[in-house]
């Protein structure tokens, strides 16, 4: 299939681009390189440097049969102080992309949504029918796009899938996380292990969890890539599906720190800080729906394996 990957120079988009190429697809990446890296785009894919708002001429040129849409701003803290960036990039940027698709009669899309659309869960594991009450602008902007896709499917015959990722981690095809502003636990802990960051702060040790630290669901980026390839052809015209994507198993912050120490063989000094506002004790996905509908099964569910892949890829870059 001829596909356009918006945000394909970023962490997840570049891995999915590599998986698409391996699957025999023809790929063009559209990316403004605001947080991505041109050298992350796998050879074999074209790269057009453009923003979502300026995507119409790119789509007119590429004439894709499907779009995978990763391009977004995704820093929760920033979204609270600069909401305008999130509404502009994530919402009106996506609207421009959908209109550019309509103009070339491309109506198939897989969108990177997020667990942040749910907010504080009433129960875990979180299913797709859980209430969506985002607690930050980032989550609200992604939820708005999910609603946009529902209406584009109904009114304009789009075949759409929103994949609501939990915490994505690990590396594949030699591509890992390289965020300039890193907020994710595993890469931060690996930076501490590598000696490029002094210490890791654990935000709260008094949660109602077995070791007192927060529990999160880490999904390996290679498993996520598999889900994208399955989702690409799944919906019929007029259908918008929503799937949660997680490992199904939660790991605590302390377990992540222990795994990083074990895998790297280096010390990881920690500082215990206050709880952060809006951090639920547990966020774990139920991925039953995508398992049942698409036969998706995560293959890399052990924490040390996820950490090892991230560590080895980061080390190869140094
Ligand atoms: N990393 C995670 O754990 C996680 C979890 C849930 C959801 N997500 C979502 O997955 C997607 C990919 O995340 P990531 O971690 O790979 O982020 P990333 O920042 O590495 O990748 C995003 C890419 O989009 C590009 N981009 C941003 N704004 C753009 C614009 N206006 N026009 C064109 N390109 C633009 C960036 O340059 C970058 O290459 C995002 O939509 C994010 O919200 C990520």
Query: Ligand 1 centroid vs 23 CA: distance in angstroms?
Result: 22
pLDDT at 70 over 90: yes
Q: Model confidence at 248, in pLDDT bands (50, 70, 90)?
A: confident
For residue 61, the model assigns a pLDDT of: 98
pLDDT at 67 over 90: yes
11 lines ligand 1 (CB under 6 A): yes
Query: Ligand 1 centroid vs 294 CA: distance in angstroms?
Result: 24
- The second-level CATH assignment, the architecture, of 2-168+219-245 is 3-Layer(aba) Sandwich (3.40)
Pocket mutation for ligand 1, best pick of 6, 14, 34 (most atoms within 8 Å of C-beta):
34
Q: What is the pLDDT of residues 128-157, one digit of tens each?
A: 999 999 999 999 999 999 999 999 999 999
Query: Ligand 1 centroid vs 267 CA: distance in angstroms?
Result: 31
For residue 318, the model assigns a pLDDT of: 72
Q: Sort residue 295 into left (φ over 0), alpha (ψ -120 to 50) or beta.
A: left
176 lines ligand 1 (CB under 6 A): no
Place of tokens 């080895």: 312
Ligand 1 atom with least separation from CA of 142: 43
Q: What is the pLDDT of residues 15-51, one digit of tens each?
A: 999 999 999 999 999 999 999 999 999 999 999 999 9
Pocket mutation for ligand 1, best pick of 10, 45, 136, 256 (most atoms within 8 Å of C-beta):
10
Query: Ligand 1 centroid vs 36 CA: distance in angstroms?
Result: 8
For the chain, the average pLDDT equals: 96
For residue 53, the model assigns a pLDDT of: 98
Q: Is 207 a catalytic residue?
A: no
For residue 307, the model assigns a pLDDT of: 97
- CA dist 7 → 30, 256, 279 (Å): 6, 28, 27
pTM of the model: 0.97
Return the bridge partners of 243, or none. 163
**Torsion over CA: 45, 2, 237, 90 (sign):** positive
Q: CA-to-CA distance for 17 and 13, rounded, in angstroms?
A: 6
- CA dist 291 → 91, 119, 175, 191, 219 (Å): 29, 23, 26, 34, 14
Pocket mutation for ligand 1, best pick of 6, 72, 140, 143 (most atoms within 8 Å of C-beta):
72
- Choice among 118, 138, 165, 173 that is catalytic: 138
Q: What is the pLDDT of residues 262-314, one digit of tens each?
A: 999 999 999 999 998 888 899 999 999 999 999 999 999 999 999 999 999 99
Q: For the residues of the chain, what is the DSSP string, one character each? A: -EEEEETTTSHHHHHHHHHHHHTT-EEEEEE--SSS-GGGSPTTSEEEE--GGG-HHHHHHH--SEEEE------HHHHHH-HHHHIIIIIIHHHHHHHHHHHTT--EEEEEEEGGGTBS-SSSSBPTTS--B-SSHHHHHHHHHHHHHHHHHHHH--EEEEEEE-EEE--BTTB----SS---HHHHHHHHHHTSSS-EEEE-S-SSSTTSS-EEEEEEHHHHHHHHHHHHH-PPTT-EEEEEE--S-EEEHHHHHHHHHHHH-S---EEEEPPPTT--SEE-B--HHHHHHH----S---HHHHHHHHHHHHHHH-
pLDDT at 212 over 80: yes
For residue 317, the model assigns a pLDDT of: 81
> Domain 169-217+248-317 - what CATH class?
alpha beta
Percentage of the chain modeled with pLDDT above 90? 95
158 lines ligand 1 (CB under 6 A): no
Same fold, 2-168+219-245 and 169-217+248-317: no
For residue 279, the model assigns a pLDDT of: 87
Contact yes or no for 117/163 (Cβ under 8 A): no
- The domains of the chain are located at 2-168+219-245, 169-217+248-317
């Amino acid at each position: 299939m001829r596909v356009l990957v918006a945000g394909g120079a970023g962490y997840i988009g570049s891995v999915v681009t590599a998986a698409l190429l391996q699957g025999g697809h023809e790929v063009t990446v559209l990316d403004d390189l605001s947080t991505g890296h041109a050298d992350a785009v796998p050879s074999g894919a074209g790269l057009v440097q453009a923003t979502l708002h300026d995507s119409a001429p790119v789509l007119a040129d590429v004439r894709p049969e499907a779009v995978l849409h990763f391009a977004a701003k995704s820093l929760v803290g920033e979204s609270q102080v600069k909401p305008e960036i999130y509404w502009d990039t994530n919402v009106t940027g996506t609207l421009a992309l959908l209109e550019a698709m309509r103009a070339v009669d491309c109506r198939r899309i897989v969108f990177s949504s997020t667990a942040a659309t749910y907010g504080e869960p009433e129960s875990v594991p979180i299913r797709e029918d859980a209430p969506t009450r985002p607690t930050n602008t980032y989550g609200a902007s992604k939820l708005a796009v999910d609603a946009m896709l529902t209406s584009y499917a109904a009114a304009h015959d789009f075949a759409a899938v929103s994949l609501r990722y939990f915490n994505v981690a690990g590396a594949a095809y030699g591509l890992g996380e390289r965020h300039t502003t890193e907020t994710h636990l595993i890469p931060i802990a690996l930076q501490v292990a590598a000696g490029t960051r002094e210490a890791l702060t654990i935000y709260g040790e008094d949660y109602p969890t077995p070791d007192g630290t927060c529990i999160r669901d880490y999904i390996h980026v290679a498993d996520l890539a598999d889900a994208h390839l399955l989702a690409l052809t799944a919906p019929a015209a007029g259908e918008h599906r929503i799937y949660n994507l997680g490992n199904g198993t939660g790991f605590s912050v302390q377990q992540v720190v222990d795994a990083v120490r074990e895998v790297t063989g280096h010390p990881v000094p920690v500082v215990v800080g206050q709880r952060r506002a809006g951090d639920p004790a547990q966020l774990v996905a139920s991925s039953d729906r995508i398992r049942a509908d698409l036969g998706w099964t995560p293959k890399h569910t052990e924490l040390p394996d996820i950490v090892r892949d991230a560590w080895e890829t980061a080390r190869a870059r140094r």
